[in-house]
Amino acid sequence: MIEVLTAGHLTAATFVHPALGEFGAARYVNGFSDDELKAWLVSCCRQPKWYQVVVLAASIDSHDRVINLLLQLSSDKDPKSIEAKIAAACVAESLSLSSETQERVAFALLQRLKSEIPIVCIESALSLLPVARIASTLIAKVANELLESDQEWTRLAARCLRLASRPNNSDINWFKDWFVNYDPGTSPVMGRLSQVSSSDMPEESTELQHLMLEFGLAAMIEQRESTEVRALFSTDAWRDHASHAIVSRVSDVLESSGFNDIVKGFYDKYEDLLDVKAQQQGWKNEYITMLDAMIAATGIQDQSPVADQRDTFILPGKVVSAICLGQSMASDAQYFRRRVGFEAIVEVFRGVIHACGIDATELATEARSARSILLEDRLVSVTSIIPWIPCNPDWELALKCKLDPILLEQGLRHPHWSIAVTATKLLADGAAGESLKDIADRILDDGVGFTLRLAAYLSQNVYGKNVGTVLWAKLRERIVFGSENLVEVLLTSMTDDQRPQVLADAVAWLTQPKSRFAAGVAKALGKVNPSLDRAFESQLRSALDYWTEQVTWCDEHAQRSDSESCPTCNLVQSCAKVEIVKVLDSMGAIDLQEMLNLLSDRQKPVVREAKKRLIELASEDATIVELLLEKIVDRTLSHESLDDLSQLSESALRPCHEQFSSLLAHDVEVGLRVRAVANLRRGWVSSEIASSLLETLTSDPNAEVRTQATRSLRQP
């Protein structure tokens, strides 16, 4: 929003925050007459972009006109109606409302709890929670009548509202029984209110069940049933299987009520896996190590008490930004926490400090102060006191501090991504002097994994135009974990004379029993310019057959696996077969039928690539859309594939409208029907037909279909 401001002869256009624009719109709306306000609400209140304006208009409306009109427009029979839900948000926003108005809003929402459409019921219950205590008598009375409802979602909503308002002993006793059967290791947990599991519940019910946990525990604690609270959390399910989402919800309630021992038990058991606070502590330990390295790199060892009272430190933030910490893997943090290769980290930081032109004394002072805060305040956020400040280092400036080449080589081999990359930049810009070639040779001879990727980059600075020849010779001597990085540079730097033999070697390497290596080679072959010709098709087909049989092979642990991940490290391995398929496809060697056959491949990456390629082809050929719909119906492709197919243009989808509409029939599998309903307005049929079908489907016998039809109708 842009506002033009004028003062005397001066005029300026200024940006206004959207929230101010919404407030201005609400003030304007508040000036409407009753008829104008009603007409505006009819046309706008169901559109998401006007939601906040309506709520703000109600908050500055001294006569409750907005809320009263919303209640008039609300319809229990219309699944698209959200006026009562908005009215509840208005109640929560308004500072002073009559109890009569609040109860009218609550009553309107309570009527919607009886809806046959689960999402309508669940949304109404969630909207009622902010006024549950205010209208507790009314809510308790109506909710009580719904406890024996035939609809599971209605019973869930009624129970949650009872616990949120003013629960009695009966409600608390019910909660204890429910809690015993609750599975804290699963989210969401459906069907726990009855003994029969149900798939009709929408995902919004997860939030309602989590809230029910909080309200029930709070009610028990209010009744001073501390012994029973401890007994509930002593079960094996809570000790051993509680999920992170559930622990996060109940820990605040327990901790605020003095049950610190229970909360500590969760954190001690699961450490970084479940405990957010332990994870924060892990980040702090990582930053404390970095701050220690920064202090050591400055060479200033001041032991005097810290007197700096600031709560944000810029210079350490510049150093953190310069080493590109945000691009490293989360698992890399362990190497800082364990202080692996600390001397090398210090040497790298010495180079960074000079490259950024940072004053060593000021950095040491700020780093000591930030370290002190991290050690003393267990709740402080590390990124709030050490924000990442954009910094563009001039790596040539680092040459002035005469860095140790041996320590920089150790830095390049460091397991932490940020340290290794930063050390490589320092070396590439001349920090090692005449030692650079020896360092590059040593790493090419004995390096593995990511280190070889850095070596490939460094070797281009060392060997120049001869880099292809050097790397070719190294690859003929040994192929190890990470050698694919050398192949990529080789194929972009080979000479015209070398090209025929290099390409022959590269294609032969595709049958090396190393998934990542073979995938990397195939990917590099796909980028060769000019591209491969059909003369290599026979060899590529042989490699394709080889990887069809082998599936995956972990380069690091030399283990074959029929799944996508290594059984030792559990890391997902690169799929060599899919990269070979891409090369063959780019050569025009894979026809439509073969691509369709790949949809049944046992390797998921191959299926994903085949589906992606077929959808691309389908944009220009409606018969392929029909074929893909058949594959979805017979479960060759997952139901989720319908979402991808529906991204095509209307001109590609419309010719298949009859085949798509057949997916809405009652004899079609429920999951597929729901997907079809979700994509009905994507272009398969006209908007008028789509709206008509959705209106009809809101009365479908299946609750999941009714819920999705309601969601789709509400979409703009």
- Host H or E run for residue 559: strand 559-561
Neighbours of 2 (CB within 10 A): 8
Beta-bridged to residue 572, according to DSSP, are 565
DSSP 44-110: HTTSGGGHHHHHHHHHT-TT-HHHHHHHHH--SS-TT--HHHHHHHHHHH-S---HHHHHHHHHHHH
Residue 130 is predicted with a pLDDT of 77
- Name the CA radius of gyration of the chain, rounded: 32
SS (H, E, C) 397-415: HHHHHCCCHHHHHHHHCCC
CA-nearest of 151, 72, 159, 74 to 119 is 151
* 585 and 525 Cβ atoms separated by less than 8 Å: no
Residue 187 is predicted with a pLDDT of 42
Residue 676 is predicted with a pLDDT of 94
The Cα–Cα gap between 581 and 573 comes to 17
Alpha helices by DSSP H, 257-341: 260-270, 276-298, 314-322, 333-337
The Cα–Cα gap between 510 and 518 comes to 5
The Cα–Cα gap between 318 and 386 comes to 9
Q: Are strands 559-561 and 552-554 parallel, antiparallel or unpaired?
A: antiparallel
End-to-end CA distance of the chain: 22
Q: Are strands 2-7 and 10-15 parallel, antiparallel or unpaired?
A: antiparallel
Residue 564 is predicted with a pLDDT of 57
Q: Is the previous residue joined to 188 through a cis bond, with omega within 30 degrees of 0?
A: yes
* 313 and 369 Cβ atoms separated by less than 8 Å: yes
> Consecutive sets of 10 residues in the chain, 716 residues long: mean pLDDT of each?
50 53 82 89 85 84 82 85 87 72 84 88 87 76 85 89 84 82 52 40 78 84 79 69 66 75 64 44 77 93 67 89 78 80 95 94 92 76 81 88 93 93 93 90 92 92 92 94 93 93 95 90 93 92 91 61 58 81 94 94 91 94 94 92 93 94 92 93 92 92 90 82
| Structure tokens that stand for 10 in this block | 């001066």
Give the model confidence (pLDDT) of 26-81 as tens digits. Answer: 888 888 888 898 998 988 888 888 888 888 888 777 678 888 899 889 888 888 88
Residue 439 is predicted with a pLDDT of 94
- 3-state SS class at 18: helix
Residue 198 is predicted with a pLDDT of 44
Q: Which amino acid is at 543?
A: A
* 164 and 129 Cβ atoms separated by less than 8 Å: yes
Q: What is the DSSP letter of 659?
A: H
Q: Are strands 10-15 and 552-554 parallel, antiparallel or unpaired?
A: unpaired
Residue 274 is predicted with a pLDDT of 39
Q: Which amino acid is at 256?
A: S
Which are the contacts of 485, defined by CB distance < 8 A and separation ≥ 6?
Answer: 452, 453, 455, 456, 520
pTM: 0.69
Which are the contacts of 87, defined by CB distance < 8 A and separation ≥ 6?
Answer: 58, 67, 70, 71, 74, 105, 108
Burial 272-281 (b: 16+ CB within 10 A, else e): eebbeeebbb
The Cα–Cα gap between 321 and 307 comes to 26
Neighbours of 533 (CB within 10 A): 9
Q: Which amino acid is at 88?
A: A
Residue 346 is predicted with a pLDDT of 95
- 3-state SS class at 565: strand
Q: Where are the domains of the chain?
A: 23-96, 275-431, 623-714
Report the largest interatomic distance among the alpha carbons of the chain, rounded to a whole angstrom. Answer: 90
- Count Cα neighbours of 282 within 13 Å in the Cβ-side half-sphere: 16
Angle between helices 436-446 and 450-463 (to 10 degrees): 140
Angle at 187 (CA atoms; ends 182, 192), nearest 5 degrees: 35
Q: Are strands 559-561 and 2-7 parallel, antiparallel or unpaired?
A: unpaired
Residue 18 is predicted with a pLDDT of 53
- 3-state SS class at 625: helix
